[in-house]
Structure 1
Amino acid sequence: MKKSAMTLSAVLLLAAAACNSRTESTTSLDNQTPVTAGITAVTTDNKGSAMTDNASVRQQLQVDASGGKVVVNLKVENGTASPVFVPKAVFVDDEIFRREFEVTNKATGAEVDYIGPMVKRGPFTRDDFVAVPPGQSLANSIDITRSYDFKPGTTYELKYAGAYLGDVAQLDVTSPVAVAPVTFTFNKP
């Protein structure tokens, strides 16, 4: 009987994982509309039973490449019942100090050089993250014009590896959030 109860728990856990829903990212034809992605997480407690978090954490990414600048607009929405923690480097700071975004030349696929300031730092600590309370959102804009070697008239693709922490006491346990890449053309005024 004990073996069949364990088997039933395993089947329920696998069924719950199979039901894990994912909201796919979409972009408009002009590639300037914010892109949104969300995940519904299935986790297990230490007894092997499935717990489904039907709420989600969404991150939006938009690039404004007007006026000779490249401004990245980021937003995180916490639809869960608990606070989540995101990096201050992109959700609070107004300047980046390392390659936070993957930028490539859309035509060639070549990676664009990061030419902004580089700050040598130690391992991440809880002070490197900001809390987003349940049901709240946080938005930030970062001008990256001087951080990457942009060439006028060139079309680029920018990617951000979205993620968050559920607990700042566990800095090595991140939850990914799929964020679709954004395409933009850099033009000098």
Structure 2
Amino acid sequence: MKIFKLILPALGLLLFVACSPTTQNSEKIAATANADSTTDTTLVATMSIPAVSAANAPIEMTFTVYNRTDSVKTFCKWHTPFEPLMSKYLDITSTEGEEAAYKGPMAKRIMPPPADSYVSIKPKDSLSVKVDLSKAYDIKPGSYVVRYNSQSISGLSVTDSVRISVK
């Protein structure tokens, strides 16, 4: 019985110390550091489009890839604006929920991608390209949200979307 009187308070103290805020905060800091280091090794891309465009006029989007790391990084240019229109790599949806029809070509690919399908970016550098969305999508007057949908193919991280109004 004396042993239980000693063990129970010791277990309670051990449980209290193991669940203390100091331990929980250090775990959160470690998780944040891991997330930051993962982000630092990823190529990040952004899209920009003028907020308003005229109907039946070119709708020019700028697609920029950033290498924020200290080493040369590569990405597959398939399903990006860095190759001629060959695939539907954007989802363009009206504010009413209707998707703009893709009218460009669709390429069949060999896997894995050959070496000339990759683009290299120097450390702390970026690459930009412009593409006319009206050449590949049937965009009528209205408001749209443009999202990149091919992260898994290109290896690029694109987390934002852009809005455009076509008048």
Q: Does the Cα contact within 8 Å between 1:91 and 1:138 map onto a contact in 2?
A: no
**Aligned position for 2:85:** 96
- 1: distance between equivalents of 2:59 and 2:112? 27
- 2: distance between equivalents of 1:41 and 1:136? 18
Query: Would you say 1:18 and 2:27 are equivalent positions?
Result: no
Report the CA distance shift for 1:162/1:134 in structure 2 as closer, same or farther (over 3 A). Answer: farther
For residue 14 of structure 1, report the CA deviation from its aligned partner: 7.7
Aligned residues: 137
1:21-53 residue CA offsets vs partner (Å, 9 max, x unmatched): 5xxxxxxxxxxxxxxxxxx334xxxxxxxxxx7
Q: Does the Cα contact within 8 Å between 1:75 and 1:91 map onto a contact in 2?
A: no
* 1:58 alignment partner, one of 44, 55, 69: 44
* 1:41 alignment partner, one of 37, 40, 53: 37
- 2: distance between equivalents of 1:122 and 1:178? 24
TM-score of the two chains, using structure 2 as the length reference: 0.67
The structure, 1 or 2, with the larger RCO (C-alpha pairs under 8 Å, 6+ apart) is 2
Report the CA distance shift for 1:163/1:76 in structure 2 as closer, same or farther (over 3 A). Answer: same
1:125-164 residue CA offsets vs partner (Å, 9 max, x unmatched): 132220111111100001121211111x211110014749
* 1:158 alignment partner, one of 146, 149, 152: 146
SS in 2 for 1:131: strand
**Aligned position for 1:138:** 127
Query: Any unmatched runs of 5+ in structure 1?
Result: 1-11, 22-39, 43-52, 165-170
For residue 76 of structure 1, report the CA deviation from its aligned partner: 1.2
TM-score of the two chains, using structure 1 as the length reference: 0.60
- 2: distance between equivalents of 1:136 and 1:162? 22
For residue 66 of structure 1, report the CA deviation from its aligned partner: 3.4
Return the structure number with greater helix share.
2
Return the structure number with greater strand share.
1
Q: Does the Cα contact within 8 Å between 1:104 and 1:112 map onto a contact in 2?
A: yes
**Aligned position for 2:76:** 87
Alpha carbon RMSD of aligned pairs, Å?
3.0
Q: Does the Cα contact within 8 Å between 2:89 and 2:150 map onto a contact in 1?
A: no
- 1: distance between equivalents of 2:119 and 2:165? 31
Q: Does the Cα contact within 8 Å between 1:59 and 1:162 map onto a contact in 2?
A: no
Query: Any unmatched runs of 5+ in structure 2?
Result: 1-25
Report the CA distance shift for 1:77/1:184 in structure 2 as closer, same or farther (over 3 A). Answer: same
Larger of the two Rg values belongs to structure: 2
**Aligned position for 2:111:** 123
1:90-143 residue CA offsets vs partner (Å, 9 max, x unmatched): 2533x321101111112x212221111222222241322201111111000011
